[in-house]
């Protein structure tokens, strides 16, 4: 389908009209088979994953337009669908990796180029890694998760040889090289667009590409459309079958569903759970639901200031959450419950796992009295409006339930483009959010979400030296393959998280995707965004 036809059909649906079917001519049929039309509720707010406040859709732009040294392999999940394999590391920009006692050396693929034709060299890799560990915030903390912390660690030995000198033994160093953050930037292009106030050219890369990945952005209309064209000189893997990808933002869930059902769009993640339930039953589209590894939707309470500094208040809220109503009325069963276990003691090393809280208003009221606030208080609960399909009805149910224990909630709807910035300020008293750890280890999740030493996604501002010690011990024990110490540390931080409950796990989300029957090659990825490189159309 031609782009103008797609826009015309979108406008028709928006206006509530029954537009006629679009039948491409034989001349345009091949072009349609090489073009993917993706639609979503939320749009990327940046092309650069290193940018301050870059949202999750921005990860998709970066993933498809930049290379990394390494990537993950693939396996089949229990349903026979493609799933990335976090235990299998494969080359991408690098053709070879040599792991030594104190360093890791990479040989880059010959002939690799950036989108502007500039050859990719080890100096670009070093500049990119230097940038990631220096700019601060999320990218720097992500690199630190794999003990990649200082520019001195990164050495351009020659044009095609790059070396990382290790600070310590860390079993997450190599896996951390294959996540989106250590992307390789065109250093000379960035330097030309840098300023004294912006030495890493962050303003330039927010709206312009500087990569050499499988696709390049040919059109960037923030909040509305991103158009990608295949980079035919890409050396990072097999050349993708799709030549072009159009990613449109369609705010209305009803319009997104209509476009899919009419065949006017090819693929979408962002539909309400009820729609996925009905589409799966109708069997006209391919619908795949994958549990998001190392991920939870949670309710977080600011543990640094206000009434939620008291653990008994937090426990009271945990007993007042309408868990089952959320599962039935908001999720329509499209998630894995994380509540109602027999107690609040860790059951093993898997994460996420269930806690022992259930809906018990009497117990919640008693805890509020013990905390010295028997009559409750007023506060605000915030959510990402870009994911309103789940977040808004969830917040309304929580608002109704907490009113029973005297907590009066005002609901704050934060626009999706601003959510990450507001979240990282860590000053909202009560939130609901989803966090997923890219590396599938429990200590990785807790490192990001519970560690008190400036952990980026510790959105509750929770600080407990005991928690930090458990997390640090698990990382050390994991690197040294000390199973007994590792198990003790993991169970220690899980138990403490349930006892002090600064964030209340609600459920493990499913990543649901609906696509036309002719779409093949879909692969689940830990970053929960589309990878166009494996997709094809019949």
Residue-wise pLDDT tens digits, 191-201: 999 999 999 99
pLDDT for the residue 92: 97
User: What mean pLDDT is predicted for residues 460-480?
Assistant: 92
**Which of 353, 352, 345, 351 is CA-nearest to residue 492?**
345
C-alpha to C-alpha distance for 225 and 249, rounded to whole angstroms:
6
Would you state the pLDDT for residue 30?
Answer: 62
The three-class DSSP label of residue 479 is helix
Mean pLDDT of the chain: 92
Give the tens place of pLDDT for each residue, 63-101: 999 999 999 999 999 999 999 999 999 999 999 999 999
CATH class of 295-511: alpha beta
* CA 404/CA 396 separation, integer angstroms: 13
Model pLDDT, residue 399 = 98
Read off the pLDDT of residues 240-263 as tens digits, 9 standing for 90 and up: 999 999 999 998 989 999 999 999
What percentage of the chain carries pLDDT values higher than 70? 94
pLDDT digits (tens, 9 = 90+) for 305-320: 999 999 999 999 999 9
Alpha carbons 106 and 469: distance in angstroms, whole number: 34
Side-chain half-sphere CA neighbours of 208 within 13 A: 14
Is it the case that residue 17 has pLDDT exceeding 50? no
Whether residue 385 has a cis bond before it, omega within 30° of 0 = no
**pTM summary value:** 0.83
- Measured in whole angstroms, the distance separating CA 219 from the mean position of its chain's CA atoms is 24
Contact 373, 403 (CB under 8 A): no
43-64, pLDDT tens digit by residue?
Answer: 999 999 999 889 989 999 999 9
CA distance 424 to 454: 11
Alpha helices in 44-121 (DSSP H): 56-65
Q: Residue 333 — very low, low, confident or very high, per pLDDT cuts 50/70/90?
A: confident
Q: Where are the domains of the chain?
A: 3-266+516-537, 295-511
For the stretch 99-119, pLDDT in tens is 999 999 999 999 999 999 999
Model confidence band, residue 28 (pLDDT cutoffs 50, 70, 90) = low
- CATH number 2.70.170.10 given to 3-266+516-537: no
For residues 450-469, give the mean pLDDT. 91
Task: Tell me what the mean pLDDT of segment 422-442 comes to.
Answer: 93
Q: Is 263 left (phi over 0), alpha (psi -120 to 50) or beta?
A: left
C-alpha 470, offset from chain centre:
25
Mean pLDDT of 389-415: 97
**Cα–Cα distance for residue pair 150/165, rounded to 1 Å:** 10
When pLDDT is cut at 50, 70 and 90, the band that residue 478 belongs to is confident
Neighbours of 2 (CB within 10 A): 14
**Residue 272 pLDDT grade (very low, low, confident, very high; cuts 50, 70, 90):** confident
Q: What contacts 148, CB < 8 A, 6 or more positions away?
A: 129, 132, 133, 164, 173, 176, 182
The pLDDT of residue 15 is: 38
Check whether 396 has a pLDDT greater than 50. yes
Mean pLDDT of 270-299: 93
């Amino acid at each position: 389908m031609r782009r103008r036809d797609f826009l015309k059909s979108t406008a028709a649906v928006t206006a509530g009209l029954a537009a006629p079917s679009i039948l491409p001519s034989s001349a345009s049929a091949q072009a349609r088979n090489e073009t993917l039309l993706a639609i979503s509720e939320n749009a990327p707010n940046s092309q650069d994953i290193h940018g301050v406040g870059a949202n999750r859709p921005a990860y998709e732009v970066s993933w498809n337009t930049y290379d990394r040294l390494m990537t993950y392999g693939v396996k089949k999940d229990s349903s026979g669908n493609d799933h990335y394999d976090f235990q299998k590391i494969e080359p991408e920009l690098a053709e070879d990796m040599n792991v030594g006692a104190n360093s890791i050396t990479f040989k880059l693929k010959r002939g690799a180029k950036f989108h502007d034709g500039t050859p990719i060299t080890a100096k670009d890799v070093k500049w990119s890694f230097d940038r990631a560990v220096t700019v601060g915030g999320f990218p720097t903390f992500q690199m630190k998760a794999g003990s990649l912390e200082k520019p001195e660690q990164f050495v351009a030995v020659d044009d095609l040889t790059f070396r990382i000198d290790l600070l310590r033994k860390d079993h997450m160093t190599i896996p951390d090289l294959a996540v989106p953050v250590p992307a390789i930037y065109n250093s000379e292009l960035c330097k030309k667009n840098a300023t004294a106030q912006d030495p890493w050219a962050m303003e330039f890369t927010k709206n312009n590409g500087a990569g050499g990945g499988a696709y390049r952005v040919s059109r960037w209309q923030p909040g509305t459309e991103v158009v990608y064209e295949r980079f035919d000189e890409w050396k990072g893997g097999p050349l993708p079958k799709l030549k072009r990808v159009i990613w449109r933002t369609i705010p209305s869930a009803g319009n997104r569903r209509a476009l899919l059902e009419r065949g006017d769009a090819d693929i979408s993640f962002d539909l309400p759970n009820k729609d996925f339930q009905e589409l799966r039953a109708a069997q006209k589209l391919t619908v795949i639901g994958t549990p998001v590894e190392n991920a939870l939707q949670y309710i977080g309470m600011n543990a640094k200031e206000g009434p939620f500094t008291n653990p008994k208040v937090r426990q009271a809220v945990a007993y007042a959450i309408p868990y089952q109503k959320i599962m039935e009325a908001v999720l329509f069963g499209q998630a894995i419950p994380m509540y109602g276990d027999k107690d609040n003691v860790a059951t093993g090393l898997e994460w996420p796992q269930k806690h022992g809280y259930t809906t018990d208003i009497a117990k919640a009221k008693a805890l509020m009295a013990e905390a010295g606030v028997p009559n409750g208080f007023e506060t605000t609960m915030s959510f990402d409006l870009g994911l309103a399909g789940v977040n808004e009805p969830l917040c309304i149910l929580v608002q109704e339930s907490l009113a029973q224990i005297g907590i009066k909630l005002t609901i704050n709807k934060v626009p999706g483009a601003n959510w990450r910035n507001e979240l990282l300020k860590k000053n909202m008293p009560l939130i609901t959010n989803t966090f997923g750890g890219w590396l599938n280890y429990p200590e990785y999740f807790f490192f990001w979400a519970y560690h008190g030493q400036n952990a980026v996604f510790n959105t509750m501002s929770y600080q407990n030296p005991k928690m930090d010690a458990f997390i640090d011990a698990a990382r050390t024990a994991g690197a040294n393959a000390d199973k007994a110490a590792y198990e003790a540390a993991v169970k220690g931080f899980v138990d403490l998280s349930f006892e002090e409950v600064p964030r209340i796990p609600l459920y493990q989300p499913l990543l649901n995707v609906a696509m036309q029957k002719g779409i093949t090659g879909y692969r689940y990825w830990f970053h929960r965004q589309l990878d166009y490189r494996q997709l094809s159309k019949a």
